Structure formats: structure tokens, C-alpha cells
A and B are shown apart, each in its own frame.
Chain A
Amino acid sequence: MNLITSLMILATAMNGLLSGLNVDTALVKLPAHLRIGAVAYATFARGNDLGNGLVVYPILGISAALLTVLTTVIAYLEHSLMELLLLLSLASLLSLLHTFATVRAAPVMLSLKDVPDDEALLRAKLDRFARWHAVRATFQVLTFLVLLWALVVL
């Protein structure tokens, strides 16, 4: 197994796990704030996103993006097939877009730590976070699917 193949498998694995984490948050966790109210959800988020989430998300997010970009750079340096280069470039672009959306979403979640338990205030913040999270989850799942496609054409 050569370097490109090894890196692609690692990048696909990290992006796959991050996709599952993102989709679960978008489809299962965040909609719960509409049922239990913003204050109850913010209490959960302070234990979840601002608990182990402060370690888990950055580790997965940064390593997935770095591995994707590194794989692309090495594929260019090794003059890989054009089809593979295009797919890896697309995956890198999507990964960077995911990072950009995370840069917009993360401060909203982090700010929950200091916001008082005010339903309207928390609802506005959670709605804003949900919008940016939907964007980053979409980019993340697309990155994973493009990397899978790249593995098939390898």
C-alpha cells in the first residue's frame, strides 16, 4: 500500500466519523431544542458541546481537514491521475468550507457558557448555531462522499 492510499484511507475514516457526528447533531440533537425549550437544551449543550465536545470536535475536525489537504498536496507532488487530483481538490475545497462554517458556528456555541437562562436569547443563539451547523454538516458529508469516490477511482 503506497503513501497516497494510506493517507486517503485515513482521511476517509476521519471524515466519515466526523460526518456521522455532524449529521447526528443536525438531525437528532439540535431539533430537540424545539421540543424541550432553549433553556433545557442549553443545559444539555453545556455538558455535551462544552464538555467532551471541546476536545473531540477540534481533534476530529482539524485532523480530518489536515489529512484531506495533505493527501491532495501529496497527490499533486506524485503526479497522480487527473481524475484523482480533481476529486481530492474538490474534497479539500469542501473540507475548507466546512472549516469556515465551523469558524462561524463555534463562537455561537461557546457563547452559551456565559448567557443567562433566558428562553428568547438562547433560542436566537441556538437557531443561529443550527443554521451554521446545517451548512457545515452538508460540507462534511459531501467531503466524505467525494473521498469515497476518490478511493474507488484510485
Chain B
Amino acid sequence: MLDATVILVVATTALSGIAAGTSLDVSIRQLPARHRIGVLAYSTYSRATDLGTAVFWYISVGVSAFLFALAAALVALLQRVPMAHTLPITLFASLWVVHLLITLIWAVPTLPRQRHVATDEQQLAAIFNRFERLQTVRVVIDVLIFGITLWALVSYIS
């Protein structure tokens, strides 16, 4: 059972699980906190994480999961594995491409804009509201990807 495709699917599942949990945390715990503490206090925290380990961590997890997903799809196609395995593998690889595009084109440029509006509460609120909408799309994709990676793993259970 432990061929290259399975190893790549396991690696993608591990990273996608971590990514989905991280994304859920941002959507359910972090972003709603601004309504309790105010956008200025939230912005102070957000800017600190933006410039901190978040950059390294999110890029590492996202890009690694994306690469493992693509590698799994490629190896599955080359090995001509049965459709029962190829379907979920192709699905999660495609969703990772969509996720990366949404992140790079829309989500990544949004939060750094807070540095230019400093203490303007209305503009900060608009920035966080926009980011929240994008994050909602991303968290749905993240959870879907994790579910599909588990489906791919289970497809190997006889």
C-alpha cells in the first residue's frame, strides 16, 4: 500500500489539516475579535503578526501543501492509478491551485494596506471586512481540501 502516491497523499493530508485548522482559527476566533476589542486594537495585533512569523509560517505550510498536492496528482496520473484514487487526488490538487490564486491575487495584498491608513477606524474596518469575506472563501476551500485528502486516503483502505 505504501507507494509514492500514498506517501504524497499522507503528506498533503497532514499539511492540509494544519492549514484548515489555522484557517478556521482566523475565521472563527481571530477576525471576530475585532468586534469585541475594536479595530484599532485588532490592527495593532494584526500588524505584529503580519510582519512576524506569520509570513514564514503561512508561506511554508501553504506552498508545501500545494507542492505535495501537485506531486500527488502528477504521480497518480503517471502511475495510472484507478479512478477511485485519481478523482479525489485531482480534486484536492485543483482546489489548492484555486486557493493559492485567491490568496496571492486578493488576500495577500489586503492586510498590508492597514499600514497606510494608520488610525482611521473606518478605513481599517473596511480593510478587515474585505479580508473577512476573502477569508470566508478560503476557509471553505481549506476545509474542503482537508476533507477530500481524507477521502483520497480512505480510498486506499481495502
Contact = CB atoms under 8 A, between A and B. Distances in A.
Interface of A: 1, 5, 9, 12-13, 15-25, 27-29, 31-32, 35-36, 40-41, 43-44, 46-49, 51-53, 56, 141, 144-145, 148, 151-152, 154
A36 B48 contact: yes
The 8 closest A-B pairs by CB, nearest first: A20-B21, A16-B17, A47-B33, A47-B36, A47-B37, A44-B45, A17-B21, A32-B48
B28 interface: yes
A28 B6 CA distance: 30
B154 A5 contact: yes
B154 A51 contact: no
Interface residues of B, number: 45
Interface of B: 1-2, 6, 10, 13-14, 16-26, 28-30, 32-37, 41-42, 44-45, 48-49, 51-54, 57-58, 146-147, 150, 153-154, 156-157
B154 A151 contact: yes
Contacts of A25: 25
A114 B57 CA distance: 32
Nearest to B146: A16
Contact of A152 (B2, B21, B41, B44): B2
- Find the residue from B1, B17, B19, B24 having the highest chain A CB count within 10 A: B17
